[in-house]
Structure 1
Amino acid sequence: MSGCPLGHGSSTLPADSMPTRPSPQLRRWRQEAPLVPLSYRDGHEGLMVTRYDEAKAVLGDPRFSQQPQRMPRSDAEIEEGVPPGPLDEAGVLATDSTNILGLDGAAHLRLRRAVTRRFSARASRLRRPAVAAIVADQLEVLIDAGPGADLLALYAEPISIRVHALVLGVADHLLERYARDYVHGAPRQQQHDLLREAIDHRRETPGEDVISDLLADDDLSDVEVEGLLHMLSMSGRDTIAYMISTGTVALLDEPGQYRLLVEDPERVPAAVEEIVRFCTMFVTLFPRTATEPITIGDVLVEEGTTVSVSAVSANRDERRFEDPDRIDVLRDARGHLAFGDGPHGCVGQQLARVELDEAFRALVTRLPGLRLVSTEQHQPGPLAHPVATYAARPVIVSW
């Protein structure tokens, strides 16, 4: 790891980070070096990328493998994120065979292509009317609850799960159970049993959705269909709930920012890019391992070294974004790494943009006087996953 000025010892992720106020330690590391030593939970000593250009380079370089998946050590409490309980043999095989985040090259591309059709920019635009209807419905629920309502529980999470179910093809009669199992958590076997019901329903009544596409793909086995559906159910949805709730906190912490969108809702699509930059969820993305010696910036990463990209730090790199610790909805924030980058960039990011656009547009249009009462987002809390992501917390609002 030559060229690294912090080679005197490794570090763990700090415990004092908050979704809109990352730990000052990240800034200090970023100022000192583009890659800093990072300790992993298995005892491995690797590196964390702190700066934007180097982050882009790592995420786009196929010489970095997704295996082995070593998770970073953190001083913060970590919610493991794995539903408890045993899982039958078919379920184990399904999850083991379709871990897109752990695959490289052709194996990764094959499975990724199987799910991308319903998440393309065009498909996401076609979903906009349905997404808008879901958003409008949930906004009425929030308003009916009256001032002092939890935006996360009554607005952000229901939008995220209902749109997720719509696009995946989970039938309406399964929606309540789907929300219970995947928002609030359930034993793994219960989650897989539900997905099998959803798959069986689409065998009989195919539609314009992911499950129907997977079932029609002759290249996929039944096990792979179940595994891909579980992987999609466990990822992406929580990001939307987090971004709606945390983005609202960020806008209301700076009232002038929310007011700019109230005065001109047509600014919302561009503002979404700034919101996700400022409220980036991934303290570190899923780790990569160098398959050969690779030079990143002025640092030589030795073969076998694990490298974690800090999307939070990269998106606040002063070299890429001026005054990065301030949210500015008039900023051109395109190019941020909130959705990752390269071949493993978020497959659902175009749909996410539609959801966030509609969610924030509805808020600024219907609730111009929205204000923040309280939120746990203003205090450090447990990380939501061992890979190191912020967790959504209650956001109490009034109007």
Structure 2
Amino acid sequence: MNGYPGGAGQHALPADSMPTRPSPTFARWRESAALVPLGFRDGHEGLLVTRYEEAKLVLSDPRFSQQPQRMPRSDGPVEDGRPPGPLDEAGVLASSSANILGVDGAEHLRLRRAITRRFTVRSGRTHRPRIAEIVAEELENLIGAGPVADLLAHFAEPISIRVHALVLGVPDHLVDRYTACFLHGAPRQEQHDLLRAALDHRRQHPGEDVISDLLADEDLSSAEVEGLLHMLSLSGRDTVAYMISTGVVALLESPEQYGILVDDPDLVPGAVEEIVRYCTMFLTVFPRTATEAVAIGDRTIPAGTTVSVSTVSANRDERRFAEPEVLDVRRDARGHVAFGHGPHGCIGQQVARVELDEAFRALVTRLPDLRLVSTAQHEPSPLANPVATYAARPVLVTGLDR
């Protein structure tokens, strides 16, 4: 196992994981125990949850708090994931006022309630026609970039940023700036300046969108409105781009699976659940800390223990999924924890499902001969965030004939 210098029995997250090929270390840990020792970056020892049932228990139990946020240690390099540069006083206040990923209980519910209605199943259905148009437009761009093209840059990322702007309510005249800030990366101050411009526009021109809802919520301060909008702009979009591009890698690694969807595109909605199970992005989700002693199975977790859940490992738990290392687009993979679970589960998962459904449906319908040329996904790479997530990487494909 992976040694960790912070103390006997501690381990770090393995550095040899890849999006469709998790490190064998996770399987060994999962076989040995549902909870294994894990070292954290501040030097203390906590636990890693490796199995499915125990993962759901921890993620749904209010006795596990989001605070303090202590990140797991990795054997490999980790990218910071935060936008660079200084931030003005209003931006600092916004960032500290609406940390929905780091609060619990009533405060978390209050902030989450302000944005939830735009990310329901019904909202996803409402946006589906426009999402389908965006997917069709970006598919033409992908085809036009051929005969060999990067599916991430020419398809997955443009879909993800455009749908994000749509749902949030970024005005059309600011979408290019929004893309530059949140897809291509920009200093924090530029990001906040752009969001303030979007907020100013929606104050004068409200719509059926997240920004308008935030502005109309009398329970939110102006700092919380800006902070929530910034958090939403940084969250979820990269997940969709990753899932589209990595899902294509997984399907083209097993061409018969892609062929099944080509022959029957109506299988795509179920296949999406299997793809996100198989290609789970989060090696670990935001760690929790036990606020009191908690019994998990035959083990009692002492109060104060930091517990990190590996959704990558949980979604490959053979106790829940038969032959979990096999991609099977006919599998009923509902119940996976790729989008998290419990009160902190992914807010945008229903809209994400619509994006993924439309993207994969368009590919198998229009490009039945799509083939993988090469991908950086087949090489271990730095984790994209201290939370421990994979990053989307280039995916070169061919078979782009109209």
TM-score by length of 2: 0.97
1:61-112 CA-partner distances (Å, limit 9, x unpaired): 0000000000000012111001111001111111111111100000000000
Unaligned runs of 5+ in 1: 1-6
Give the Cα–Cα distance (whole angstroms) in 1 for the partners of residues 328 and 121 of structure 2: 25
Q: CA deviation at 1:297?
A: 1.6
The 3-state SS of whatever aligns with 2:156 is helix
Give the Cα–Cα distance (whole angstroms) in 2 for the partners of residues 90 and 297 of structure 1: 46
The 3-state SS of whatever aligns with 2:397 is strand
The 3-state SS of whatever aligns with 2:230 is helix
**Residues 44-193 of structure 1: pairs in structure 2 closer than 5 A:** 44-193=44-193
The 3-state SS of whatever aligns with 2:36 is strand
The 3-state SS of whatever aligns with 1:289 is strand
Q: Which residue of 2 aligns with 1:22?
A: 22
1:289-316 CA-partner distances (Å, limit 9, x unpaired): 0000101122211100000000000000
Q: CA deviation at 1:180?
A: 1.2
Give the Cα–Cα distance (whole angstroms) in 2 for the partners of residues 260 and 297 of structure 1: 40
Q: Does 1:380 align with 2:380?
A: yes
Give the Cα–Cα distance (whole angstroms) in 2 for the partners of residues 172 and 40 of structure 1: 43
Give the Cα–Cα distance (whole angstroms) in 1 for the partners of residues 92 and 311 of structure 2: 30
Q: Does 1:279 align with 2:282?
A: no
Q: Which residue of 2 aligns with 1:253?
A: 253
**Residues 218-367 of structure 1: pairs in structure 2 closer than 5 A:** 218-367=218-367
The 3-state SS of whatever aligns with 2:108 is helix
Give the Cα–Cα distance (whole angstroms) in 1 for the partners of residues 84 and 123 of structure 2: 35
- What is the percentage of aligned positions where both structures have the same residue? 74
1:144-176 CA-partner distances (Å, limit 9, x unpaired): 111210000000000000000000011111111
Give the Cα–Cα distance (whole angstroms) in 2 for the partners of residues 325 and 346 of structure 1: 24
Give the Cα–Cα distance (whole angstroms) in 1 for the partners of residues 173 and 298 of structure 2: 56
Give the Cα–Cα distance (whole angstroms) in 2 for the partners of residues 280 and 76 of structure 1: 19
Q: Which residue of 1 aligns with 2:3?
A: none
- Runs of at least 4 residues of structure 1 off by over 6 A? none
Give the Cα–Cα distance (whole angstroms) in 2 for the partners of residues 221 and 305 of structure 1: 34
Count of residue pairs the alignment pairs up: 393
1:312-369 CA-partner distances (Å, limit 9, x unpaired): 0000000000000110000000000000000000000000000000000000000000
Q: CA deviation at 1:8?
A: 5.7
TM-score by length of 1: 0.98
Give the Cα–Cα distance (whole angstroms) in 2 for the partners of residues 314 and 371 of structure 1: 30
The 3-state SS of whatever aligns with 2:285 is coil
Give the Cα–Cα distance (whole angstroms) in 2 for the partners of residues 175 and 76 of structure 1: 36
Give the Cα–Cα distance (whole angstroms) in 1 for the partners of residues 366 and 258 of structure 2: 13
Q: Which residue of 2 aligns with 1:3?
A: none
**Residues 174-213 of structure 1: pairs in structure 2 closer than 5 A:** 174-213=174-213
Give the Cα–Cα distance (whole angstroms) in 1 for the partners of residues 265 and 92 of structure 2: 46
The 3-state SS of whatever aligns with 1:386 is coil
1:209-264 CA-partner distances (Å, limit 9, x unpaired): 00001111111111111000000000000000000000000000000000000000
The amino acid that maps onto 1:170 is V
